[in-house]
Amino acid sequence: MEPLAAGQFASSGGDDFPGLLRSRGLLGIAPQFPTAGSRAEMVQTQATTILAFKFLGGVLVAGDRRATAGNTVVYDRADKVLEIDRHSLMAIAGVPATAWEMARVLEHSFQFFRRTQLQEMSVDGKVRALSKLLRDNFGFVMQGVGIVVPIFATYDVREDPAARLYFYDAMGAQFEVADYAATGSGSPAVRGILYYENNWGKKTLAKLNEDEAVIIALRALDTAAESDTATGGVDREGRIYPIVKIVSASGIEALPERRIAALFKKGVA
């Protein structure tokens, strides 16, 4: 906390938190015009394979636990499904250093907006805020560091209450999806499974109850891990299970590991 000079009161106008952070030197600014040949040679830590789909109880968001750097498994208990506010989840594939920072900026931005403006930021505003952060990060991406490809799931509690689900590309384009989304290196397999289940499964994804939805998510991540070394899937010996969180009208529920383990035993193992 810095001491204030007399004229320093209220510098941001109260609605641009990233701008405020930059003015205090707390948030890095990516170079906008990277020079040719400046690509980083270092091996970056990456987090992979996240998925989300709408089901009866809202939106389910899941991610495996592995973080890798090149051929090395760096970490096997990473949490890639991050709670941003009471009704929003951001799941990350890409470089965790950047992604966790983005999540932190986003979380604080939404709270800052609500506190200063005395109203909740709209869902479109939130979706756009993440888009802006990705766009601001693109200078780094062009230099070969810090790529992030997130999924954003939220519940619009204002008029016309409904679950909303978006995925992004690295430049910040947002795509709203009707049923499911998956990003990260294991996502081709996940997308195949979700497409299959949605079209030819016993029920469409939107009609699954919570248990069925969790089982499908676990199966999809386990399948992705089968062919993609960067995806952790389910560590049967170490008993490390994916993170599964649910967004609904009543808020966010992080499923306890016991429950995931039980459903894994019932429907996957």
Partner 1 sequence: MIEEPYRWVEAIANRREYIETQLAPGSPLVALSCREGILFFTIGQTRQKIFEIYDRIAMGAIGHPGDIERLRMTVIELASTEGFARSAADVSLRRLAHYSLSPVLKAAFEQIYGAPYLARMLFGEVGSTPEDDLILRVDYDGAIATNAGTLAATARSFAVLSGHRQTTEAMEIYLQSEHSPEAPLNRALQIALDTWTAGQLQGDDSAGQKSPTSTQIATARKAHLRGGVEAAILDRKSKLAIRYRQLTTEELQPLAAR
Q: Give the footprint of partner 1 on this chain (CB under 8 A).
A: 1-6, 8-12, 14, 17, 20-21, 24, 26, 86, 104-105, 108, 111-112, 114-116, 118
Sign (positive or negative) of CA dihedral 257, 231, 195, 82: positive
Q: Which is nearer to partner 1, 22 or 259 (CB)?
A: 22
Cβ contact 89:83 at 8 Å: yes
Q: How far is the CB of 98 from partner 1 (least distance, A)?
A: 16
- As a whole number of angstroms, the distance between CA 259 and CA 253 comes to 12
Which residue matches tokens 């954003």?
152
Task: Answer yes or no: are the C-beta atoms of 14 and 129 closer than 8 Å.
Answer: no
- Residue 26 or 269 with smaller CB distance to partner 1: 26
Degrees (nearest 5) of the Cα angle 103, 106, 107? 85
| C-alpha 193, offset from chain centre | 20
Q: In terms of CB distance, is 86 or 203 closer to partner 1?
A: 86
Looking at the DSSP assignment, which residues form a beta bridge with residue 174? 168
Q: Which of 53, 80, 52 is nearest to 64 (CA)?
A: 80
CB of 167 to partner 1, least distance (A): 26
Q: Active-site residue among 35, 45, 48, 183?
A: 48
Distance in Å, CB of 89 to partner 1, minimum: 16
* Least gap, CB of 14 to partner 1 (angstroms): 5
Of 132 and 203, which has the nearer Cβ to partner 1? 132
What sign has the CA pseudo-torsion 125, 131, 135, 138? positive
Residue 68 annotated as catalytic? no
Which positions are annotated as active-site residues? 48
